[in-house]
Amino acid sequence: MEQWSWPPSYDESYRPEIAQRFWFPRRETMPAEQRDEAILERIRQVMEYAWNNAPFYRRKWDEAGIHPSSIRSLEDFEKVPVVRKEELRADQAEHEPFGSYLAAPPSEVKHINGTSGTTGRPTAFGINERDWRSVANAHARVMWAMGIRPDDTVLVASPLSLYWGSWGAYIGAERLGARVFPFGAGTPGQTARTVRWMKQMGVTVFYGTPSYALHLAEVARDEGFDPAGLGLRALFFSGEPGASVPAIRSRIVDAFDAQVYDSGSMAEVSPWMHLGAGANEPGVLCWQDLVYTEVCDPGTYQRVDYGCEGTPVYTTLERTSQPMIRLLSGDLTRWEAPSADRGRTYPFLPRGIYGRIDDMFTVRGENVYPSAIDDVVMAADGYGGEHRIVISRESAMDTLAVQVEYKDVPESSVDSWAGGIADRLRSVLGIGARVVPVEHQTFDRTEFKARRVVDDRDLLRRLENTP
Ligand code: 8LH
């Protein structure tokens, strides 16, 4: 029994037959144009709802001269002004605690989550029961597409606090009938315990960040376990680039001998797992009937053609407490047209989300994204498990150095090993970089999202501005 209504409402007893590939075959495989027609209708309903219930949107659209009834096509929708995260933050500061974009009565808010960022004012997510359930149902659907079934034991290995990602994975796994193991992450010494518990509990599926999976593999080896023998069948990821970055992906596949799935978008638009492609293939699908994704020109916020790069702009189609309508991500991706060959007729991001616009830096005229450097460095034999990307300024010119840990490289070959990585960076990225080899375990490991870029230019700027 398929449901697709506004406001969303799901039969909680429904679950497909184990062998069924699609949770909701019609919604997932219908011709994309037909789905777009239904999405347009849903967008109008969601906008109408926000107009009537969330003063934030009414103010914003009034200023732009837009009324929900004026949206007659998906092209019209591109004229709706984007929402920036700073606006949400400012609105929440003014209308505490959930902001004037809360569209449900405050008494209905039954769950509080928040941004995981450590800088600036955190943003609170106020979630009503209806949204909590529709996120659970949506995640169950996407996780079903990853091949997760009721006989799986799903380890949630990211922080179980404010971070929506962990709770989304938890309630999705629970909804599809799997056994959920909310081990979390982030407590000192926890990783070694995770390895032991994984074996004892017969964990078959891992959820966390790619950086953490690689750290877990290292710790497992240190504890005398081969990560491939831990019994994982699949790992799915969100939170940072990695699962669609070839070198990172193959390190994870090789370590665990399991299927790897990319997923994730932004906590504000949970179900963030509206992405997730085929088994052992990089890339992610945009599940448009859950969160309508437009890959847009970062200057005009209009959709770019398929085949082109842009920034995702997200609209939630199943959220009633804090609906997000054209939320600007600031991330970068390239999208491809829906194709029936992929089974699900959704647009496709072949390289996933590979960076953020503001992470890009320019070295001698070349634009560089950290994930492209990660890909080169982590593909090297002898890579020791971590690296840092250091951008500095020498006499008005930006320079790049990459400190790379090595392991099992004979001391006499370390310099030529580093030279090989520098050559590869030059040929792949078109930039010269100094590669500095450093010993294994020089850098701290992360249990959440990695921060590998060290921007010395910021330090310089600060020093220059100090009287
Ligand atoms: C990603 C990815 C990915 C997120 N590939 N970059 O989707 C997970 C949610 C819960 C999450 O991480 O939300 P949060 O903390 O708001 O962070 C969102 C940012 O994280 C997003 O804008 C991206 O820059 C990044 N991200 N999933 C690459 N699969």
Q: How far is CA 21 from CA 15, 149, 158, 258, in A?
A: 12, 11, 28, 19
At 187 the pLDDT is 84
Q: What is the structure's pLDDT at 205?
A: 98
Point out the ligand 1 atom lying closest to the alpha carbon of residue 371: 28
Cα 133 to middle of ligand 1, angstroms: 21
Q: ∠ at Cα 359 (353, 365), nearest 5°?
A: 110
Q: What is the 3-state secondary structure (H, E, C) of 298-313?
A: CCCCCECCCCCEEEEE
Ligand 1 centre distance from Cα of residue 268 (Å): 10
Q: Where are the alpha helices (DSSP H) in 245-345?
A: 246-256
283 in Cβ contact with 262 (< 8 Å) = yes
- What CA–CA distance (Å, rounded) separates 178 from 277? 20
44 and 68 in contact (C-beta within 8 Å)?
Answer: yes
Amino acid at 1: M
Token pair 């605690």: residue: 97
Strands 309-316 and 291-296: antiparallel
Closest CA to 125 of 156, 175, 89: 89
Instruction: Give me the pLDDT at residue 363, please.
Output: 81
So what's the pLDDT on residue 462? Answer: 63
- Sign of the torsion formed by the C-alpha atoms of 71, 76, 79 and 83: positive
Q: What is the DSSP letter of 345?
A: -
> Angle at the Cα of 334 (from 330 to 337), degrees rounded to 5?
130
- Which of 139, 146, 171, 240 is the pocket-test mutation for ligand 1 (most atoms within 8 Å of CB)? 240
How confident is the model at residue 274, as a pLDDT?
65
Q: What is the helix (H) or strand (E) element at residue 429, kind and residue range? A: helix 414-429
CA 360 from chain centre, in angstroms, equals: 18
Q: Tokens for 464?
A: 């220059």
In terms of Cα–Cα distance, which of 21, 34, 23 is closest to 1? 23
CA distance 153 to 143: 13
- The phi, psi pair for 267, rounded to 5°, reads -60, -35
Alpha carbon distance 390, 381 (integer Å): 22
Distance 451 CA to ligand 1 centre (A): 13
Q: Is the dihedral of CA 267, 74, 138, 339 positive or negative?
A: negative
Indicate the DSSP class of residue 320: S
Task: Write out the H or E segment, with its range, that includes residue 334.
Answer: strand 331-334
Give ranges for CATH 3.30.300.30 in the chain.
360-465
- The Å distance, Cα 267 to ligand 1 centre, comes to 7
State the Cα–Cα distance between residues 373 and 234, nearest whole angstrom: 26
Spatial CA neighbour of 451 closest among 258, 288, 211, 217: 211
Span 31-82, pLDDT tens digits: 999 999 999 999 999 999 999 999 999 999 999 999 999 999 999 999 999 9
Task: Kindly give the parts of the chain with pLDDT less than 50.
Answer: none
Contacts of 263 (CB under 8 A, 6+ apart): 142, 146, 236, 237, 238, 243, 272, 273, 274, 275, 276, 284
- Supply the pLDDT for residue 367: 85
The partner residues of 114 in beta bridges, in order of sequence, read 124
Residues flanking ligand 1, CB < 6 Å:
115-116, 164-165, 238-241, 262-267, 272, 329, 331, 352-353, 356
Total residues found in the chain within this entry: 467
Cα(84)–Cα(327) distance, rounded to whole angstroms?
6
In CATH terms, the fold of domain 1-356 is: Rossmann fold (3.40.50)
Closest CA to 247 of 77, 395, 93, 428: 428
Out of 331, 351, 360, 449, give the residue to mutate to test ligand 1, the one with the largest number of ligand atoms within 8 Å of its CB.
Answer: 331
> According to the model, what pLDDT value does residue 188 have?
82
Tell me how far apart the 2 most distant CA atoms of the chain are, in Å. Answer: 71
Output the pLDDT for position 412: 95
Give me the amino acid identity at 57.
Y
pLDDT at 455: 83
> What is the fold of 360-465?
GMP Synthetase; Chain A, domain 3 (3.30.300)
What's the angle, vertex CA 8, arms to CA 44 and CA 86, rounded to 5?
60
CA of 311 to the centre of ligand 1 (A): 13
Give the distance, in angstroms, between the CA of residue 261 and the centroid of all CA atoms in the same chain.
Answer: 11
Which segments of the chain belong to CATH 3.40.50.12780?
Answer: 1-356
Here the tokens at position 395 are: 């006499």
Helix (H, G, I), strand (E, B) or coil at 295: strand
Cβ-proximal residues to 96 (8 Å cutoff; 6+ apart), any chain: none
Give the burial class of 45: count Cβ atoms within 10 A of its Cβ; 0-12 exposed, 13-18 middle, 19 or more buried. Answer: middle
Q: What is the DSSP string of 139-156?
A: HHHHHHHTT--TT-EEEE
- Distance in angstroms (rounded) separating the CA atoms of residues 269 and 198: 30
